[in-house]
Amino acid sequence: MINTECQDERHQKGHMHLPNSPLWAHHLTVSYDKRKIIQELSVQIPHNSFTVIIGPNACGKSTLLRALSGLLKPELGHIVLDGKALAASKSKEIARKLGLLPQSAIAPEGITAADLVARGRYPHQSLFRQWSETDEQIVANAMEATGTRELSHRLVEELSGGQRQRVWVAMALAQQTPLLLLDEPTTYLDIAHQIELMELFAELNKQGNTLVAVLHDLNHAARYATHLIAMKDGHIVAQGRPGDIVTEQLVEEVFDLPCKIIEDPVTKTPLIVPIGKRNSQ
């Protein structure tokens, strides 16, 4: 059976708030084309966590992330960022607290990689604070961390899918927000670059940043997340530490995938081994 102590049921019944939770939503309902994708969902992101949202396609993962970032306006419910209603906050105020790497981001035509990353500093500019050497260094550090410095003068439109993805991650890092939302950040990346980015995110979390990512790779999620949220059909099925909630029963219920769970020999975290229908005969 699934560990019901980690499920979202108690949040759905009442307004409960985790101390110091930087981002939370209460009774959230979000629709696309009059079709409800998420209905009366409540969730709280633990402070200083690396929270990963998993679930099958079209379960509402990205919809939830976009709503939490302010890109999607909910029909009902409310979202709170750092103790203030998201709907009552100005976009630049939000951008200084929350960075977002959206899915399938599109860069302006004719922009170089360095210029795109530099746009991450926009929320910190004003009439009284113009571009500085500090901004320049932050951009350089973000590109160094993502292995994109050699792409600085290349046009983004000329880059491969994986290169573009790393440039977008660099822009999000340059924003230097305490809270970072990532929608499928490893898309288009080969396995080596996937691991590099996941290690980078884990390090940012250790440095005190709160991260929320949507991932498709269950083993990446189980290895790197400090807090896991499993979704299905617009609802939260279970949440908690990967070692507490990742079971064979949970994976089969959420993904309709028979599997075996073994211990990762490197990290001692759950390792999901799919059985597949052919091998389950």
What are the domain boundaries of the chain?
A: 4-246
Q: pLDDT tens across 179-202, in order? A: 999 999 998 899 999 999 999 999
Instruction: Compute the half-sphere exposure of residue 169: CA atoms within 13 Å on the CB side of its CA.
Output: 31
Which residues, at least 6 apart from 126, have a Cβ–Cβ distance to it below 8 Å? none
Q: pLDDT tens across 106-120, in order? A: 899 999 999 999 999
**What's the mean pLDDT in 236-252?**
97
Q: Give residue 20's pLDDT.
A: 75
Q: Give residue 34's pLDDT.
A: 82
Give CA angle at 256 (250, 224), nearest 5°: 50
Alpha-carbon span 258 to 260, nearest angstrom: 7
pLDDT at 6 exceeding the cut of 80: no
* Cβ count near 35 (within 10 Å): 6
Using pLDDT thresholds of 50, 70 and 90, give the confidence band for residue 1. very low
Using pLDDT thresholds of 50, 70 and 90, give the confidence band for residue 203. very high
Helices 161-174 and 191-206: crossing angle in degrees, nearest 10, is: 10
Strands (E), the chain: 23-32, 35-45, 50-54, 76-81, 84-85, 98-101, 179-183, 210-214, 227-232, 235-240, 259-263, 270-274
Average pLDDT, the chain: 89
Q: Give residue 280's pLDDT.
A: 59
Q: Give residue 5's pLDDT.
A: 39
Alpha-carbon span 258 to 249, nearest angstrom: 8
Residue in this structure with the two tokens 């996937």, named with its chain if needed: 194
The first and second tokens of residue 169, run together, are 């991650």
Q: pLDDT tens across 122-152, in order? A: 888 876 678 889 999 999 999 999 999 999 9
**What's the mean pLDDT in 242-251?**
97
CATH number of this structure's domain 4-246 = 3.40.50.300
The first and second tokens of residue 94, run together, are 């939000």
* Cβ count near 87 (within 10 Å): 12
Helix (H) or strand (E) holding 219: helix 218-224
